[in-house]
Amino acid sequence: MIRLDEVSKTYAGTAEPAVAALTLDVPRGEILVLVGPSGCGKSTTLRLINRMIEPTGGRILFDGRDVTRVNPDELRRHIGYVIQQIGLFPHRTIADNVATVPKMLGWDRSRIRARVDELLDTVGLDPSIYRNRYPKELSGGQAQRVGVARALGADPPVLLMDEPFGAIDPITRDRLQNEFLRLQADMQKTIVFVTHDIDEAIKMGDRIAILRDGSAIAQVDTPQRILALPIDDFVQDFIGSGAALKGLNFERVRDLTLGDFPHVRHDAGHAKAIQILDGSRQQWMVVLDAHERPLRWVNRTDIDRSDRRLTEVGQAVRVTVEPNATLHDTLEAMLNSSVGAAIVTDARGRYQGVVEIEVLTEAISRMRTEARAHYASLGLSTADAPGLAPYAPPALDGTS
Ligand code: ADP
């Protein structure tokens, strides 16, 4: 959908290019996040795409069409643009702000009004309450929602977002990010999203381009693969500590093969419980109720207390996870469990199996192996330690 072909920008009066021969593809329907240290050229790159800044060199293609020379006003009607905070016109109502592009396009009043109401609804603002308000009467989060609604005005296929949730408190920010991802699941826009925050990049991006100075790509890939295999020290440092932990957010319990873990119905009797536990390599087993819901963790000493029922000994099961839980949440459940393992239940709370810590270690190692195999298939060598392979720009014949 968007192709940057050796795009460069050197600002007048500066020696170093802000963007130096950047080549990058954004497939239709993808959120590509540009992330990198301050001043590396992210905003400049974004503004080159909608020609708020004219490139010094290279070509920009939309849908295969070279738009490097088309009228920028015409171009911008097909590109929504969301920026941090200052985006709204202060002396226009929310409705007028949202209607900016439809008005430019000469839509009639009733069509504009219907579209404005639809968009306010879409971003979770009741039109009857907010339509006639002014930007200063909104909270930061509400203003940002209006900014998104305005960018979507004429339903452009492409959205550019420059730190859109940057100046908002963490809780509202998290909520806006989630809302936006839900919206995008329906809209399927092609989005280039700029942030300096790696966690936001990991959360929002289908792919992430990690940039160094001059908008040079250090690594561009899915968040999973970047977390599994940062390609050099720069990327490694930028991700910071905890990459493996963050990678656990991308795997879910349902993708694991749950091993056989000893478990017993509460009324099966002590002898049966001992037989099952002794027949396993485990120290602990799970006691289930009559509906197969996990009740207790018990070990051999607990079961040996034959004067007490299996429902009275051992440790209560306090946390369980469902198959759609991430491995990150599963690790959290393990850390909160008295035995360091997480019990998986179905939606009705019935026992499905147990995830042990080794399974998580294996998952992390599998993600690495997959990433390494992927890079190898691209002809990039990656050593055992995060490799030092250079970034290979996508082929311009569309085979990348
Ligand atoms: P980022 O968005 O990654 O923080 P920018 O794209 O804003 O980076 O800036 C990239 C580089 O270009 C920086 O060195 C910045 O100082 C410079 N720059 C940005 N805008 C201008 C401008 N209008 N004139 C001259 N230099 C600029």
Count of CB atoms within 10 A of residue 315's CB?
Answer: 14
| Helix axis angle, 140-151 to 109-122, nearest 10° | 130
Check residue 383 and give its pLDDT: 54
Cα separation of 28 and 25, whole Å?
10
Highest mean pLDDT pick, 90-99, 172-181, 237-246: 90-99
Instruction: Confirm or reject: Cβ of 18 under 6 Å from ligand 1.
Output: yes
8 CA distance to ligand 1 middle (Å): 13
Query: In the block, which residue shows the tokens 């050796």?
Result: 6
Cβ-proximal residues to 282 (8 Å cutoff; 6+ apart), any chain: 261, 262
Instruction: Confirm or reject: Cβ of 382 under 6 Å from ligand 1.
Output: no
Give the global pTM: 0.84
Instruction: Confirm or reject: Cβ of 43 under 6 Å from ligand 1.
Output: yes
233 CA distance to ligand 1 middle (Å): 24
Closest Cα to atom 27, ligand 1: which residue?
A: 11
| Whether pLDDT at 175 is above 90 | no
Cα separation of 346 and 365, whole Å?
27
43 CA distance to ligand 1 middle (Å): 7
Query: In the block, which residue shows the tokens 């009559």?
Result: 290
pLDDT in tens, 105-126: 899 999 999 999 999 999 989 9
Q: Which atom of ligand 1 is nearest to the CA of 19?
A: 10
pLDDT in tens, 147-156: 999 999 989 9
| Whether pLDDT at 168 is above 90 | no
Cα separation of 371 and 223, whole Å?
11
| Helix axis angle, 170-187 to 140-151, nearest 10° | 20
Q: Are strands 65-66 and 263-265 parallel, antiparallel or unpaired?
A: unpaired
Q: Which atom of ligand 1 is nearest to the CA of 46?
A: 6
18 CA distance to ligand 1 middle (Å): 6
pLDDT in tens, 69-85: 889 888 888 899 998 76
Cα separation of 157 and 82, whole Å?
14
Instruction: Confirm or reject: Cβ of 215 under 6 Å from ligand 1.
Output: no
CB 92 within 8 A of CB 63: no
194 CA distance to ligand 1 middle (Å): 14
CB 153 within 8 A of CB 98: yes
Cα separation of 201 and 213, whole Å?
18
Closest Cα to atom 17, ligand 1: which residue?
A: 18
CB 97 within 8 A of CB 145: no
Query: In the block, which residue shows the tokens 């396993």?
Result: 280
Cα separation of 351 and 120, whole Å?
44
**Mean pLDDT for all residues in the chain:** 90
- Phi, psi (deg, nearest 5) at residue 353: 160, -170
| Whether pLDDT at 385 is above 60 | no
Closest Cα to atom 23, ligand 1: which residue?
A: 11
Instruction: Confirm or reject: Cβ of 40 under 6 Å from ligand 1.
Output: yes
91 CA distance to ligand 1 middle (Å): 29
Tokens (6 digits) for 105 = 């396009």
Closest Cα to atom 26, ligand 1: which residue?
A: 11
* Amino acid letter, 51: R
Cα separation of 155 and 145, whole Å?
15
Tokens (6 digits) for 314 = 């051992």
160-173: buried (b, 16+ CB within 10 Å) or exposed (e) per residue?
Answer: bbbbbbbebeeeeb
pLDDT in tens, 283-322: 999 999 999 999 999 999 999 998 899 999 999 999 999 9
Closest Cα to atom 5, ligand 1: which residue?
A: 41
Closest Cα to atom 13, ligand 1: which residue?
A: 39
With cut-offs at 50, 70 and 90, classify the pLDDT of residue 382.
Answer: low
Cα separation of 271 and 377, whole Å?
55
Instruction: Confirm or reject: Cβ of 144 under 6 Å from ligand 1.
Output: no
pLDDT in tens, 154-167: 899 999 999 998 87
Q: Which atom of ligand 1 is nearest to the CA of 40?
A: 3
36 CA distance to ligand 1 middle (Å): 13
Closest Cα to atom 10, ligand 1: which residue?
A: 41
Share of the chain above pLDDT 90, in %: 71
Instruction: Confirm or reject: Cβ of 214 under 6 Å from ligand 1.
Output: no
Instruction: Confirm or reject: Cβ of 16 under 6 Å from ligand 1.
Output: no
Looking at residue 329, the DSSP 8-state letter turns out to be: H
| Whether pLDDT at 389 is above 50 | no
- Report in angstroms the alpha-carbon separations of 140 from 80, 100, 181, 204, 247: 20, 20, 19, 20, 31
Of 348, 256, 334, nearest in space to 294 by CA: 348
Check residue 166 and give its pLDDT: 84
State which of 44, 52, 84, 195 you would mutate to test the pocket of ligand 1, scoring each by most atoms of that ligand within 8 A of its C-beta: 44
Cα separation of 263 and 285, whole Å?
5
Instruction: Confirm or reject: Cβ of 150 under 6 Å from ligand 1.
Output: no
